[in-house]
Structure 1
């Protein structure tokens, strides 16, 4: 057992429960230099689910030329698809396995394998839209329109990612009103949820509050918003807390702090799921996540990547639980999932 856990001291004005949208298998591993074997990816997903993550973004059905690290989507998704819909402990939601699709062809591939939740990935700035999608913002939204419409017709849920919501490496600070405008257009296309991305990690709590306030004033309900912070300047947890105080209850994070962005070199790792969970549990906020198992999972993945996890919480807890019996019997006892 881990011999150190946060003291629980709830704070007023915060949600009772937060849904963690785990992006490690997709957003985390897409930025790796080496190609991670599909068997390792599948086991990573299984271990994350076993640790209590109910939403795990598995992969992207993108052309292999764009992101070769995710070229195995057709092999990976069927290997873990049996986890979707599994119920967790009492009160936990069923497991969700969303995938990213860049266009109609990607959607066709995902739906053919049984994906029931998809995501599209847009940009609030022209520079990043051209770098990431080779299109203008308007052209990208036009490309997404039939994707979202067909996904909804097929009964799939749709998430819209919006990158560069706070700053852009080419254009600098991004005006709040521009972000609001693109958010409204994504919702008008039919997206069920929007994830606001701080792709290069330059946001600060005041900026986060200002954007969320402006979105509310434009008629965007907080219930339809998620936040996705990178920790470039060490602001990810502070920004998350600002979002929670505003009523946001869905937070993106990556196990072990894996990830970045292959199209924005100044983007560093995502907010580590363990760091997020440590803070949330200390605030008395329920996540349904077993921090012990999650930490062991990130240590396991870090060993396979050949480097230590950048997560401070992983490093601290792993060093304290190295001799714990549970460290060898927790995430490894996944036989019930391996036949799925």
Structure 2
């Protein structure tokens, strides 16, 4: 039996939001679908522990309408969920985020990686952004540990900020197993997702019985992307890019973070731990991957005060934090207003389209705050 969702619905006005601005946001999503930019999408906006907007658009798969319970590939939005698992390890006294990774994953010190801290790992300063984890390691923890420990350095840790698309969070998965004895998928579900009441709508590792709910992820030309669309890819729980969820589940996850670690009375993290995680650790240093300042926290990035922004909305409060999923999605929370936002779609669009699209949609959400 499906449990009730942990956040109740409310009208925008009840939550101090402008309904007309949220309708403009939805109009933009509908226009993009009509123009063929993606077959389907879902959006949610929440505040003060309640949902002001939750709407589903278009098709999940060819000929299959998207539904409220459709699960969308989160891509790198998954990174913040995995990062929160490391915050929880620190919260429980099992690691310190200032520790070196090798203190908790012996063997990781190989090839000059002994000094890399969890802070460097989570702020994309570790020095191995281009390393690869083969599919053979997805379900074999011994292979995974061997692979991540053998990563070679590309530059001195801490000397650059460069986005690590997958490798840093595979290291996090190996650490979770080394410290707890649990598979990272099981630990994330037990420690982060289930206590928040999001277990029916948020997954890192999609079980076989839930895969029929998954939307296909398409390329710009409309083809279904692989291995993202394979059963093995969905089940793997790729910690930097393989989660699945609904928009309201992601809005709920960020509600917990903007509320200092709790949702609907259920606490997963202390207020101080969340505040520590969403500090700006990289100041205005440029991320060498995309050429803009990302203001990295320990998982999410922050809006900051530089002119250019990624996905969070140009007019966002500087403390707004969140993450995107390549070409397809963005989720964020605003501690100043208490608003959280999630937009998920099922096409991996070009940066030239996705960046301006998300700036517009996120900005419309910010303008709705009364």
Task: With the length of structure 1 as denominator, give the TM-score of the two structures.
Answer: 0.26
Task: With the length of structure 2 as denominator, give the TM-score of the two structures.
Answer: 0.25
Q: Which has the higher strand share?
A: 2
Q: Which has the higher helix share?
A: 1
